[in-house]
Amino acid sequence: MYLVLLGMLWFCPRLKGQENFFTINTIEMKAEPGWEVENGKNLTLKCHVDISTTSKLLSQHQVLFYKDDLLLKNVTSWNKEESFFIQAARIYDRGNYKCMVILNNKEKTTRDYPVSVKGVPRPRVTVDKMEVMEGSRVTVECSVPEEKPPIYFIIEKLEMDIVKQKKEKLALNQNYVMLDFPIEEQDHVLIFQCQAKISFGNFFEASEFTKSDLVTVRETFSIPSFQITPEGEITEGDPLKLKCTIRVTHMFLEDREIIIQKDRKIVAYNKEGTEVTYFTPIARVEHMGNYTCKVESSKISKVNSVFINITELFSKPQLLISSNHLDEGGKLDLSCQISGSSHANFTIQKENTTITNSQNFTKRAWVHDSGTYRCLAAIHNVIKESDPVQLSVFEIVSKPRIFHNSESEVIKGQLLELYCQSTNGTPPIRYYLCKMNTCKSHKEMYSNEPAKFLERPTATTEYTCVAKNHHSQGSVVSDVLNVSVIVPVARVNLSILLSEEVESGEQVVLRCSTDEGSWPIHYRFYKHDAAVPFYEETSNDTQAIWTTLKATKEDEGQYYCLASNRGNRQSKSPKSNIITVKVTLAPWMKGLIAVVIIGAIITTLVLVARWYFLKKTKAKQMPVEMSRPGPPLNSNTEKMPSDPNVEANSHSGYNDDIGNHTMKPTNEHKELDHSNVDVEYTEVEVLTPDLHRAPERKGTETVYSEIRKADSGENRHSRIEGSLDAT
């Protein structure tokens, strides 16, 4: 060795003296035994460098190994090949490896070489106990000491190769886990197995399962067992006893309860000891079913169940009834039957009161026999009850009474309450109301109270009613109720008979009539503005007449009448139309007046003429005998063309008051000379002023002014005619 070193030292100056050229041709990696290696196998990575140089000796260079770009090894070498050794490759050795060579200032690197490691070593499994009690727990430890975390562990609890429980856990910081497994009542001999999984990227490697030692489970108490008496078939009436028993390990000291349940109902329980008993002295069909015995400690619960079948001794009895609906006095038959006709003791009850202790019962039914019946059948100590049976006994309805509410008379259109009542007879009672033998409305009553019907009669009607219940004999009819209906007076009309315009001294006849209304009707005649009627009459007629024999001016005026009967009491009596009566002067009176006026005129004229002649005679000394009494009246007639009329009007003096301007020409009687008369008419329109009397009679009047132009010019006469009709 020393010699080699000395030799090198000797050579070095010589080398230095020479210029040395080199180049790195290639660099590559190789893996021994390969790039994929089984977990736990040795792996050698080799870096091979091919360098060309002008010198004969290989120059010194550095070789560097990287894993996932992290430096693993740095060696200074003179060799063509350098190795990196991995003893027992593990999953965590997976990765991308490369190597680099540096020669003076030149360097070259290989590509990345992926190394994969197959498989995970079998984990180690240990349990903390080999023998364990029901309800306690076992701790299982599983580890993979060769590998580095994170490791995913799966531990399973097995019994007879059947997985009973499985737990999984990821160990992040250590390569082992410790998990607790509860021991249940169904566990006997257990084994635990473990698997480890290590992931990388999207892939993972899983180990095989490793099994633990056997773990034996010791029972705390046994599954409960039933003892049933009587053994074998259980018949109704037998005493029934169910006993549930358990055996308890002497080491088990925990509290436990024993419960017997039928369906969801607890029928017996015990907090201490090892048994519980359910007893019933008489087994019945209702006791048949599924009984469950449960033993429970804090963590363990053991269950056993048994089906108790009870044979029926006899069937449920049935109460037969001849009919559920009976007429009063009908025959009631009750019979209690059980199928198979066994010899039993029977009881028939009505509303929990025994009415007979025999199988059959017969009687005549009365109303108070209505009710609920049931029967009991007993054999030895077994008593069974039938379903209830309903009996209704009907008393026939009594003759119904029909009546109405109002003591007073019934007025047309008003509501009438009619009642129908049968005081006897079993409800429900149905009442029919019949009008003139037509029965339309009906009412059902659940008591003997009267049934009420509402009517609005328009005319006098005969009512009857019919009552009916479930009694087979049908229906009963009431007496006839005659309801007389008062028809109130609706419309009244007042008319004047003969003529509306009456000459004084003639008859005035007023008729007050109605179109409908019950008799007697009370008629009242009023003169306008008077508070009290001037004539009243009650009659059994549709009209009433009032007459005055000699009409005077005082009878003139407006009239109306009222008519009412008993039906109009609540409402106002209807009022008639208004009639205006006019009383005119008799023709002889007009004539008299005319004569007086004409006489007055003639007298005046004569006086004037005399005065004239006297004056003239005095002046001219003319003899008085010259003057003649037949004067030409021209100048005088011109002076008084309408005077007679005005006077006649003012004499009559009523046309303004009444406002009825119908006037008969008053001049007819004082006509003097009609032989040569030329008539001229002037039409004038005048507004009627009588609005306050008869507002509806507003209108115009045509006044004809008749001017007579006598050839002689002696007489002139105007005539005024009203165009209105005074109805």
Ligand X SMILES: *[C@@H]1O[C@H](CO)[C@@H](O)[C@H](O)[C@H]1NC(C)=O
Site for ligand X, rule CB under 6 A: 42, 62, 64, 71, 74, 87, 290, 292, 305, 307, 309, 311, 335, 343-345, 351-352, 358-360, 378-380, 519-520, 538-540
Closest approach, Cβ 354 to ligand X, in A, equals 12
Q: 79 to each of 67, 135, 510, 519, how far by Cα in Å?
A: 22, 69, 165, 157
Q: Which is nearer to ligand X, 538 or 650 (CB)?
A: 538
Q: Which is nearer to ligand X, 173 or 352 (CB)?
A: 352
d(CA 12, CA 70): 35
Q: Which is nearer to ligand X, 539 or 636 (CB)?
A: 539
Closest approach, Cβ 102 to ligand X, in A, equals 8
DSSP element (H, E) containing 591:
helix 587-620
Single-letter amino acid, residue 164 = K
Per the CB < 8 A criterion, the answer to whether 475 and 467 are in contact is yes
Q: Which is nearer to ligand X, 102 or 677 (CB)?
A: 102
User: In a 3-state reduction of DSSP, which class is residue 483?
Assistant: strand
Closest approach, Cβ 336 to ligand X, in A, equals 8
Q: Which residues pair with 321 in a beta bridge?
A: 334
Closest approach, Cβ 252 to ligand X, in A, equals 25
Strand runs labelled E in 380-415 = 382-385, 389-394, 401-404, 410-411
Q: Which is nearer to ligand X, 200 or 519 (CB)?
A: 519
Q: Which is nearer to ligand X, 40 or 150 (CB)?
A: 40
Q: Which is nearer to ligand X, 225 or 723 (CB)?
A: 225
Closest approach, Cβ 305 to ligand X, in A, equals 4
Q: Which is nearer to ligand X, 279 or 519 (CB)?
A: 519
Q: Which is nearer to ligand X, 354 or 538 (CB)?
A: 538
Closest approach, Cβ 234 to ligand X, in A, equals 9
Candidates 141, 106, 108; CA nearest to 124 is: 141
Closest approach, Cβ 508 to ligand X, in A, equals 24
Q: Which is nearer to ligand X, 290 or 547 (CB)?
A: 290
Closest approach, Cβ 224 to ligand X, in A, equals 13
Candidates 409, 404, 412; CA nearest to 451 is: 404
Q: Which is nearer to ligand X, 90 or 661 (CB)?
A: 90
Closest approach, Cβ 579 to ligand X, in A, equals 25
Q: Which is nearer to ligand X, 87 or 139 (CB)?
A: 87
Strands 225-229 and 210-211: unpaired
Give me 595's structure tokens: 């004569």
Closest approach, Cβ 318 to ligand X, in A, equals 12
| Angle formed at CA 197 by CA 191 and CA 199, multiple of 5 degrees | 170
Q: Which is nearer to ligand X, 354 or 603 (CB)?
A: 354
Q: Which is nearer to ligand X, 257 or 555 (CB)?
A: 257
Closest approach, Cβ 291 to ligand X, in A, equals 8
Closest approach, Cβ 320 to ligand X, in A, equals 7
Closest approach, Cβ 62 to ligand X, in A, equals 6
d(CA 399, CA 473): 13
- Secondary structure (H, E, C), 39-78: CCCCEEEEEEEEEEECCCCCCCEEEEEEECCEEEEEEEEC
Main-chain dihedrals φ then ψ at residue 140, nearest 5 degrees: -110, 130
Candidates 129, 289, 346, 134; CA nearest to 221 is: 134
d(CA 716, CA 719): 10
**Rounded to an integer, what is the distance from CA 450 to the centroid of its chain?**
36
Candidates 191, 187, 218, 215; CA nearest to 130 is: 215
Q: 538 to each of 229, 408, 517, how far by Cα in Å?
A: 107, 20, 13
The alpha helices in 441-579, defined as continuous H runs, are none
Single-letter amino acid, residue 239 = P
Give the CA-trace dihedral at 560, 565, 566, 571, to 10 degrees.
Answer: -30
Dihedral of alpha carbons 687, 692, 693, 698, sign: positive
Closest approach, Cβ 335 to ligand X, in A, equals 4
Is the bond into 428 cis (omega within 30 degrees of 0)? yes
User: In a 3-state reduction of DSSP, which class is residue 21?
Assistant: coil
Q: What residues have CB less than 8 Å from 306, skipping those under 6 apart?
A: 226, 228, 242, 290, 291, 293
Give me 213's structure tokens: 């030692």
